[in-house]
């Protein structure tokens, strides 16, 4: 702050209609897929590897354990065991707690109803898949993926990559002209989610269908069995939750109002310091 610089605000067009529509449809479908998915998970809150369940040795399990007068929620992850009372395994209002995998506020409906969970899940799976196809086809045609998501040569230099990692770690994000484009970490993350995690989610979901297993036997072999597919489906769901948490946190850090406006109207304000403009 040794010298005063003047800053010009420039209104830019950041997000196309295709991106904005598919983004908000995805918010809706991923929220409901997650909540109904946790409802389905709760019907058997254990995960295994391979084709079949090994009931005594799940790699992940959420359950209630009663010792004497007290009941606790216990989550086991391989050989590790955690007291997760109130969150996983045993939750609800104090005094009216019940054994359940994920708590009632995370599932739809809040009460135990595998049948409703399946109906929500399979409905929004269609919305999610059709919306994903709309996004990918639309953005391949309009060049968004090639132009905005693929890293450019200058972003892939070792110096630039290192610089961005350091800047991210300090929660300092590109401003001005550099903020016109996605930064390289952002690009890698979006590409990994759009072309990695989300397709894996669809494929592992399909693999849990016994009819699909009969019709397309290679699919279940790729994932190493139906229970492996169920585990991978769960892990990918967690990766999506992690992505959403970081995504929303960064939206707040870089400017909540500006980011929301750009995802609703398409318009994003860049703050360009004088002399910086190209």
Partner 1 sequence: MTDAIHRRGWIKGVAASLTGLWLAACNRINDNPDVQKTLLKAEGLNRRVHRALIDRKALAKEFTAADISKDFKANGSISPGDKPYRDHLMTGFKDYRLVIDGLVDHPMELSLADIHALPSRSQITRHDCVEGWSSIGKWTGARLGPLLDRAGLKREARYLVFHCFDTLGAATDGSNQYYESIDLIDAYHPQTILAYQMNDAVLPVGHGAPLRLRVERQLGYKQAKYIARIEAVSDFKSLHGGKGGFWEDRGYEWYAGI
Question: Which of the stretches 71-79, 108-116, 152-160, 170-178 binds partner 1 when contact is defined by CB under 8 A?
Answer: 108-116
For 92, the enclosing helix (H) or strand (E) is: none
- Entry field: residues in the chain: 278
Out of 10, 53, 87, 240, name the contact with partner 1 by CB under 8 A: 53
Closer Cβ to partner 1, 183 or 207, answer by number: 207
Beta bridge partners of 80: 77
Out of 13, 111, 162, 256, name the contact with partner 1 by CB under 8 A: 111
Beta bridge partners of 248: none
194 SS3 class: helix
d(CA 233, CA 231): 5
85 SS3 class: coil
- Is 54 near partner 1 (CB under 8 A)? yes
Binding mask 121-160 toward partner 1 (x if CB under 8 A, else -) reads: -xx-xx----------------------------------
Q: Using an 8 Å Cβ cutoff, are 268 and 258 in contact?
A: yes
Closer Cβ to partner 1, 12 or 54, answer by number: 54
Compute the Cα dihedral for 253, 254, 260, 261 and give only its sign: positive
203 SS3 class: helix
**CB of residue 42 to partner 1, shortest distance in Å:** 9
Looking at the chain, list the stretches that DSSP marks H as alpha helix, in order from N- to C-terminal side. Answer: 17-42, 114-141, 144, 158-169, 184-192, 198-207, 210-215, 217-223, 226-264
- Is 173 near partner 1 (CB under 8 A)? no
Question: Which of the stretches 11-19, 102-110, 148-156, 171-179 binds partner 1 when contact is defined by CB under 8 A?
Answer: 102-110
- Is 203 near partner 1 (CB under 8 A)? no
Closer Cβ to partner 1, 52 or 146, answer by number: 52
Closer Cβ to partner 1, 204 or 259, answer by number: 204
Looking at 97-225, list the stretches that DSSP marks H as alpha helix, in order from N- to C-terminal side. Answer: 114-141, 144, 158-169, 184-192, 198-207, 210-215, 217-223
Residue among 65, 57, 63 nearest 100 (CA): 63
Binding mask 215-244 toward partner 1 (x if CB under 8 A, else -) reads: xxx--x-----xx--x--------------
Find out whether the peptide bond into 109 is cis, omega within 30 degrees of 0. yes
Binding mask 13-52 toward partner 1 (x if CB under 8 A, else -) reads: ----------------------x----xx-xx-x-x--xx
**CB of residue 24 to partner 1, shortest distance in Å:** 18
Q: Which residues contribute to the site for partner 1 (CB under 8 A)?
A: 35, 40-41, 43-44, 46, 48, 51-56, 93, 104-105, 108-111, 113-116, 118-120, 122-123, 125-126, 208-217, 220, 226-227, 230
């Amino acid at each position: 702050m040794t010298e005063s610089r003047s800053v010009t605000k420039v209104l830019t067009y950041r997000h196309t209609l295709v991106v904005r529509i598919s983004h908000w449809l995805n918010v809706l479908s991923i929220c409901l897929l997650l909540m109904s998915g946790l409802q389905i998970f709760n019907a058997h809150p254990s995960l295994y590897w391979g084709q079949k369940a090994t009931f005594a040795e799940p790699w992940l399990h959420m359950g209630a354990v009663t010792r004497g007068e007290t009941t606790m929620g216990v989550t086991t992850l391989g050989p590790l065991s955690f007291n997760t009372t109130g969150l996983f395994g045993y939750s609800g209002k104090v005094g009216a707690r019940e054994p359940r995998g994920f708590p009632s506020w995370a599932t739809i409906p809040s009460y135990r109803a595998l049948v409703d969970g399946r109906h929500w899940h399979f409905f929004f799976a269609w919305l999610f898949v059709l919306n994903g196809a709309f996004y990918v086809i639309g953005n391949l045609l309009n060049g968004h993926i090639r132009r905005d998501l693929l890293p450019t040569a200058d972003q892939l230099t070792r110096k630039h990559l290192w610089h961005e990692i350091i800047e991210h770690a300090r929660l300092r994000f590109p401003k001005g002209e550099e903020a016109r484009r996605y930064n390289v970490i952002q690009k890698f993350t979006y590409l990994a989610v759009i072309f990695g995690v989300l397709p894996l989610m669809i494929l592992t979901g399909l693999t849990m269908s016994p009819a699909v297993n009969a019709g397309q036997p290679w699919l279940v072999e790729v994932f190493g069995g139906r229970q492996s597919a169920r585990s991978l489906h769960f892990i990918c769901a967690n990766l999506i939750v992690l992505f959403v948490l970081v995504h929303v946190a960064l939206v707040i850090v870089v400017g909540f109002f500006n980011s929301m406006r750009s995802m609703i109207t398409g318009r994003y304000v860049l703050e360009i310091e004088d002399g910086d403009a190209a």
